[in-house]
Amino acid sequence: MGITARGIGLLVAAGLLLGAGFRFGYPELTLLGAAAGTALAVALVAAARRPRLLVSRQAEPDRVARGEPATMTLTVRNAGRTGAASMLATDRCGDQVVPVPVLRLRPGADTTVSYPVPTSRRGVVPVGPLRVTRRDPLGLVVLARSYGDVVPVWVHPRIHPLRAVPTGAGRSLDGRVDAVPHGSITFDSLREYVVGDELRRVHWRTSARVGELMVRENVDTSLPRIVVLLDNRALAHPVRVGGVADSFESACEAAASVVTAAVREDLPVVLLFVAAEDTSAGSGDRGTGGGSGDVVAGDGSGTGPVGPLDRLAAVALTGEGTLEAAAARLRRDRLGDTLVVLTGPGATGDLGHVGALRGAYPSVVVGIFGAAEPTPPGAAGLVVVDAADGAAFAAEWDGVRRW
């Protein structure tokens, strides 16, 4: 709640009039001062009365690719029973303020307004809450309140179609195995029996030796498991224009394209980030970044609570984390057989850490975006794709023959 300049002037005048009236014995001045104070008190009561408003909003759609249209529909209903609600309202959509027509909204009536959501930049666009401002009839007091929740609109990176998808390398003694509809089964490890396990999977020789039932664990060795590592460190993307690192945006587009291509082929895929979790939201790169230990597996459609594309929409540049530490975790966990590392020109000196992963990951592909000069052939023994943007990466990716 705040007092307007007119209200402050009236308050000062009321004090002077009351002081002069009592000091010099002028009842007329005292009466005028009391009237001014009463008007200010009535204005405070009138502005403090909280209107009963029901606010609902619907984003259509709530997940879009960068540049695609999205519309927010806002409905405000006066749930009060008496008196029309005299107020001014604005809705916040990202960095924009949208006026909402709710002046003199009668009891039981509602008003609906639709407006476009800005999707020109990747990120999570928060829409809301509705800010309602009430003033008294004399304009002495103003009071602002918030109604409704904040609804996010996820602006995903652009997805470029990829025709080539890694076929993977089998972990069995047979070596490389082509993808087949149902895969093949290979022994992986032993574990203790639990209720519900099939008895035909019990390894009786080991069970007799240890004194309890042990069950064989099998794995599918023909289907590749793709690991996408996105370098979201600020030092890897040093060049920024208007607060936006174009190389990082291109890397996000490439990551979204690889994840979507893997999901289309019904292949397992995980999405990792180099830098540690960061909840700060900047003007250039909004949202949160996932730690390098975070494994995000999903259908890639972004329809779940937090799918891979949602993570790519929300990830931001941060200064924490090193590529060496991320590579050490990848070597320890061995999450797949095809590793795709996407980084910027600031990380070309760290490619040796990625090259050391070739023993743990049979296929390693590195995408470097925005480099001033092409990476020397055979750098660190890796397949390196130099690209200016996501579209150029997709074109180069389809030309890679060594997986």
Quick: pLDDT tens for 262-277. Answer: 998 888 899 999 986 5
- Decide if pLDDT at 182 tops 70: no
Cα 320 to Cα 274: distance, rounded to the nearest angstrom? 9
- Decide if pLDDT at 392 tops 90: yes
Looking at residue 163, its pLDDT comes to 86
Is 5 buried (19+), middle (13-18) or exposed (0-12) by CB count in 10 A? exposed
| % residues pLDDT > 70 (the chain) | 82
Find the mean pLDDT for residues 113-120.
Answer: 93
Find the mean pLDDT for residues 288-316.
Answer: 57
Query: Which one has a higher pLDDT value, 121 or 382?
Result: 121
Give, in order, the Cα–Cα distances in Å from 174 to each of 91, 169, 178, 335: 62, 10, 11, 20
Query: Which one has a higher pLDDT value, 187 or 390?
Result: 390
- Decide if pLDDT at 213 tops 60: yes
Query: Which one has a higher pLDDT value, 303 or 122?
Result: 122
Find the mean pLDDT for residues 380-391.
Answer: 87
Beta bridge partners of 113: 74
In 12-52, the DSSP E strands lie at none
Quick: pLDDT tens for 33-90. Answer: 999 999 988 888 877 777 888 999 999 999 999 999 999 999 999 887 766 666 788 9
| % residues pLDDT > 90 (the chain) | 43
- Decide if pLDDT at 20 tops 80: yes
Find the mean pLDDT for residues 100-112.
Answer: 83
Rounded to two decimals, what is the model's pTM?
Answer: 0.73
Q: One-letter amino acid identity for 266? A: D
User: Confidence class of residue 228 from pLDDT cuts 50, 70 and 90?
Assistant: very high
User: Confidence class of residue 246 from pLDDT cuts 50, 70 and 90?
Assistant: very high
DSSP 8-state symbol, 88: E
Domain ranges of the chain: 2-48, 53-156, 185-220, 226-397
Looking at residue 277, its pLDDT comes to 54
Query: Which one has a higher pLDDT value, 307 or 287?
Result: 307
Domain covering 226-397 assigned CATH 3.30.56 in the classification: no
- Decide if pLDDT at 287 tops 70: no
Fold of 53-156: Immunoglobulin-like (2.60.40)
Domain 53-156 and domain 226-397, same fold? Reply is no
- Decide if pLDDT at 360 tops 70: yes
- Decide if pLDDT at 218 tops 90: no
User: Confidence class of residue 165 from pLDDT cuts 50, 70 and 90?
Assistant: confident
Cα 254 to Cα 252: distance, rounded to the nearest angstrom? 5
User: Confidence class of residue 181 from pLDDT cuts 50, 70 and 90?
Assistant: very low
In 136-262, the DSSP E strands lie at 141-147, 151-156, 185-192, 214-220, 226-230
- Decide if pLDDT at 342 tops 90: yes
Find the mean pLDDT for residues 291-306.
Answer: 39
Query: Which one has a higher pLDDT value, 215 or 402?
Result: 215
What is the distance, to the nearest Å, from the Cα of residue 165 to the centroid of all Cα atoms in its chain?
26
- Decide if pLDDT at 245 tops 90: yes
Looking at residue 71, its pLDDT comes to 95
